[in-house]
Structure 1
Amino acid sequence: MNSALTTSVCALAFALSGLSYAAPSGKSVAPAIKLQGGSASSVEWRAPVTSSYKVHVFVPNNGAAPNALYRIYPNGKRKDSTECLSSDEKFPCYEVSIDQTQHQNAWTQLTLNDDPETQWAFTKNKGYVSAVASNLAATELLNLSSLIRFENQTIQIGKTYQGGIIFYIDKTGVHGLVAAAKDQSEGIQWHNGFYIDTGATATAVGTGAANTQKIINAQGSGQYAANLVSNLSLNGYDDWFLPSKDELNLMYQAIGPGAIEPITNVGGFASGDYWSSSVYNNHIVWSQSFASGDQFSNYNYIQLLVRAVRAF
């Protein structure tokens, strides 16, 4: 690929990173790119900064390839590699094909399995998106626009992220906790019919997952709160758990009725009592009212609401 082209395309990618989704009226005046089918020709767009992005590309009026191929390299490309493997732990590569005939003069998102929540965690100065023509016949041209949009998926309280709604972000700014967008039960008991020592006494933020596993180890299979969330598969994630006492309170304060506007109860919680995974003793478990915000102990045989959480 011509180095001058690489420079101009990358610069434009930075300048246009804030464009809207909608196709502009009239013809696109962005620089046109033509790649010869069957060749090793390609064009690259570098991610602006280290962050998670949804990626949108602009298809020109003359885009006619039914399988325009894009490759996403979040961490860059392995040296001398010609393969694109999503299973590569250090340098994963993802292929996305779009039918240009269905998106002429319009923005379209690069997605996996048509999932609009598809995003990639790019590394600055390494991660990039490329368009290639090697999959096309030698008689074909791949017509491209240099326009691309890296939509920064900034991690912030109340935003949808990795399967749920963010309610806690740790000091690193890249890890935290999300709550499922809906309740998993309107009423289920905490125990499994026996008053036994589960050892799930921790209450702090970051202990809910361990508590949940202790409860399941002690109580086994059955219909009860911890087992319900542990078996949950939601939005592509299966590592959900019952929040600890302090995690439950954070949900109320950050995305529940106790949150400030404009995200007051963005989590859609009911005005009822929710289970935590933190025990008070073999008979009693900590819970919280999402009507008043009060935390109190409840007998573990009664039926309360359940909202699953997971770490990211």
Structure 2
Amino acid sequence: MSDEEYSNFLYEFQETECATIYKLGDTGIGGGRVFLITDEGRHGLETSPVQIKNVEWGCHGVSIPGTKVNIGTGKANTDKTIEANCSPYFDNELASDLVSKSRAGGFSDWYVPSRHELYKIFDVLGVHKVLEKSDPNLSYPSYFWSSTQANNEYNYVQNLTTGAKCWSHKALTLSLLPIRNF
């Protein structure tokens, strides 16, 4: 069974009477923390159990039309960024490339949260501690990328330690907390 088939099976399993009912803050199917529930706790969104550090967004100077801010749009935003096939400003691996390669918790369907999905993570789960020190060169590890573009040079970000919301230049290296649907 492929990763995608397994993920689909678990999603469909959640429609049965044997479904696990999740609450906010629970450990999700992929090992992350549940920050949004739907269908009376049968489905929702969870964070990855693994955060990715020192990640450049890329796409500097490139407008990616149609990225949205709303909850439920992170996957489409991430797909649009992958399709844009952007280059890094420096010689870094890009956020969209790293998230598309992630196999955290045994799943391969992780994506970058939209602006409001990222805000919801902080609102529901609170402070997200950054456990490792990062390279101080153009790195702000407490700030996390959203998949929502502010303009062709900036993306929306949030500090998951303080809750501060702002824009960040796409060439800076920040952290990334992928999410997935369950």
Name the counterpart of 1:116.
none
Amino acid at match of 2:38: D
What's the offset of the Cα at 1:238? 0.3
TM-score (norm 1): 0.46
What's the offset of the Cα at 1:254? 1.1
What's the offset of the Cα at 1:196? 1.1
Name the counterpart of 1:189.
56
1:166 to 34, 37, 62: 34
Greater RCO, 1 or 2 (C-alpha within 8 Å, sep 6+)? 2
Name the counterpart of 1:311.
181
What's the offset of the Cα at 1:269? 4.7
Q: 1:207-248 CA distances to partner (integer Å, 9 max, x unpaired)? A: 000000000100258711122111111222100000000000
Name the counterpart of 1:20.
none
Answer with 1 or 2: which has the greater Rg. Answer: 1
Name the counterpart of 1:216.
82
Higher helix share: 2
CA distance in 2, matches of 1:239, 1:221: 23
What's the offset of the Cα at 1:253? 1.2
1:177 to 45, 70, 83: 45
The reply to whether residue 156 of structure 1 matches residue 23 of structure 2 is: yes
Matched residue SS, 1:293: coil
Q: 1:246-289 CA distances to partner (integer Å, 9 max, x unpaired)? A: 000111111132xxxxxxx5xx4567111100001100110001
RMSD, aligned α-carbons: 2.5
Unaligned runs of 5+ in 1: 1-86, 93-119, 128-151, 258-264
Alignment of structure 1 residues 21-60 onto 2, 5 Å: none
What's the offset of the Cα at 1:198? 1.6
Name the counterpart of 2:122.
252
Matched residue SS, 2:79: helix
Q: 1:20-69 CA distances to partner (integer Å, 9 max, x unpaired)? A: xxxxxxxxxxxxxxxxxxxxxxxxxxxxxxxxxxxxxxxxxxxxxxxxxx
CA distance in 1, matches of 2:83, 2:72: 19
Identity of aligned residues (%): 28
2:70 to 197, 201, 204: 204
The reply to whether residue 282 of structure 1 matches residue 152 of structure 2 is: yes
TM-score (norm 2): 0.77
Alignment of structure 1 residues 4-153 onto 2, 5 Å: 121=14, 123-124=16-17, 153=20
Matched residue SS, 1:235: helix
Contact conserved, 2:21 with 2:40, CA < 8 A, in 1? no
CA distance in 1, matches of 2:110, 2:98: 9
Matched residue SS, 1:305: strand
Name the counterpart of 1:65.
none
Unaligned runs of 5+ in 2: 132-140
CA distance in 1, matches of 2:98, 2:172: 15
CA distance in 1, matches of 2:85, 2:15: 42
Contact conserved, 1:198 with 1:219, CA < 8 A, in 2? no
Amino acid at match of 1:197: S
